[in-house]
Amino acid sequence: MNYFIGAYIFIWLLLMGYTIFLHQKQNRLQRTLEFLKALIEKHE
């Protein structure tokens, strides 16, 4: 029984891990976007 509870929790953790990965990727891209915009403004 413990084996299957473990497998079930593992699946949910996998999905949670993927969600956290997406959140981090979004934050990183957002920072890059803001940096690039600031850089363009500075050069203009």
Partner 1 sequence: MQIEKLLGIVITLLMVLSILLVFSYAPEEKQMGIPQRIFYFHVPAAWNAFLAFAVTFATSIAYLWKRSEKQDSLAVASAEIGFVFCTIVLVSGPIWAKATWNTWWNWEPRLTTTLILWLLYAGYLVLRTAFTDDRKRNYAAVLGILAFVNVPVVYFSVRWWGSILHPVDVIKPTRVEMDPRMRIAFFVSLFTFTLFYIYLLLLRYRVERVSQQVEKIQQQTLQQQQV
- Site residues (vs partner 1, CB under 8 A): 1, 4-5, 7-9, 11-12, 14-15, 18-19, 22-23, 25-26, 29-30, 32-33, 36-37, 40
Minimum distance from CB of 26 to partner 1 (Å)?
5
Core vs surface per residue 3-32: b (16+ CB within 10 A) or e? eeeeeeeeeeeeeeeeeeeeeeeeeeeeee
The H helix count followed by the E strand count for the chain is 1, 0
Q: Give min distance, CB of 18 to partner 1, in A.
A: 6
Shortest separation between residue 13's beta carbon and partner 1, angstroms: 11
